Amino acid sequence: MAPVSRTRNASKPTVCQPIRKNVMVELNLMHNKACMLCGHKEISEKLYGLLYQLDDVIIHHYCILLSSRSLQNGADNEGIYGFLLKDIRAELSRASKQNCFYCKKKGASISCCRGKCRKVFHLPCGMKNGSIHQYFQSFKSFCQKHCVTQTVNLSALKKSTAQCAICKDAVVPSPIPTSIWAPCCKGDAWFHRECVKDLALNTGYYFKCPLCNDVEKFKSRMLTLGIYIPSRDPSWETIPNAFAELSERQRKCNIETCLCPHNEEYQLPSGPWEILLCNSCGSNGTHRLCSFLEAEQEWCCAVCKRVTDKDAAKKKIKLESLDNCSGSSSMSEGQVSTHDGEVS
């Protein structure tokens, strides 16, 4: 079965460098080369997949992935993600004899999988005319006439307007190609198709419903409706030092009147100009001299001190009320026992 995502990094030669033999390389727009199946030079992972070259073969990832007779006879690290050179050439030869239903040009390799439909088309031509493609299992494709029909709750259909849960813009609450309803959320679970595509490419392994965090139902529905979900780390994990600022602690004196003759961020490892952080929040700081702190003495900022004092006052009031209640109850018990003694 063909892979559903890029599982290895392809080499990225510059325009001046020659293309290496028997090695899959990732092309960019500067190479100015077109896919040999669809004829397009556009490189878009959201639309046609990235553009790769293997020897003299240049192909979009999704074009070969969705081709009706393409075979993955190799491992994922061979050829173009398992599609060997001879198999790609065989598919190119087959497609060269078929005319696209839409543009009438040769090279059509994708067939509609519904019933007796005879439509064959290029991937870009099909997408422009509302085709849907499933990127899992047998990688089926459907023309606009035979697309998978969405099942939507009646309560969601009765809404006249809805808001996309991702971009927050208006979305048509109807099972049309540009709108998607998620079954995991019972309510306003409408999305733009393009927004869900972007979400899948950015989140990868962590793809889930942005409203209820459901994974299984949401992922299953989106795969059925033609959303490509790559099996890879999310985009924010691949950015170098993306979270470096979280480990940095900015130390400066937050006292209203800082006594340091240099500046509020000036500090020494010890002594009067050593900056101590609040032992409660760890955000605010002070020079030892600015708060008149002795050696080994901890410091609590004014904000945290107010919160602590308020909590202590509430606790004191609560304890006093409990003591009063327990005292009055013991008095009542004493009175009852005395009365009982008199009666007896």
User: Residue 245: pLDDT band by 50, 70, 90 thresholds?
Assistant: low
Task: Please give the helix or strand (H or E) that residue 52 lies within, else none.
Answer: strand 51-54
DSSP H helices in 160-215: 193-203
* Residues across the chain: 344
User: Residue 180: pLDDT band by 50, 70, 90 thresholds?
Assistant: very high
Q: What percent of the chain has pLDDT over 70?
A: 85
Per the structure block, which two tokens stand in for 114? 């519904």
How far is the C-alpha of 300 from the C-alpha of 287, rounded, in Å?
12
CA–CA distances in Å: residue 239 to residues 36, 103, 205, 328: 32, 40, 16, 66
How far is the C-alpha of 215 from the C-alpha of 224, rounded, in Å?
14
Tens-place pLDDT, residues 78-129: 999 999 999 999 999 999 999 999 999 999 999 999 888 999 999 999 999 9
Residue 256 vs residue 226, higher pLDDT: 226
The pTM of the full predicted model, rounded to 2 decimals, is 0.66
- Judge residue 186's burial from the number of C-beta atoms within 10 Å of its C-beta, 0-12 exposed, 13-18 middle, 19 or more buried: exposed
Tens-place pLDDT, residues 295-306: 888 888 888 888
How far is the C-alpha of 185 from the C-alpha of 189, rounded, in Å?
6
- Judge residue 63's burial from the number of C-beta atoms within 10 Å of its C-beta, 0-12 exposed, 13-18 middle, 19 or more buried: buried
Per the structure block, which two tokens stand in for 316? 């004191």
Question: Is the pLDDT assigned to residue 225 strictly greater than 70?
Answer: yes
Q: What percent of the chain has pLDDT over 90?
A: 49
Res 339: pLDDT: 41
User: Residue 329: pLDDT band by 50, 70, 90 thresholds?
Assistant: low
- Mean of the pLDDT values across residues 219-241? 88
Res 64: pLDDT: 96
User: Which residue, 157, 153, 183, 150, is CA-closest to 172?
Assistant: 157
Residue 276's DSSP bridge partners are 286
Residue 337's DSSP bridge partners are none
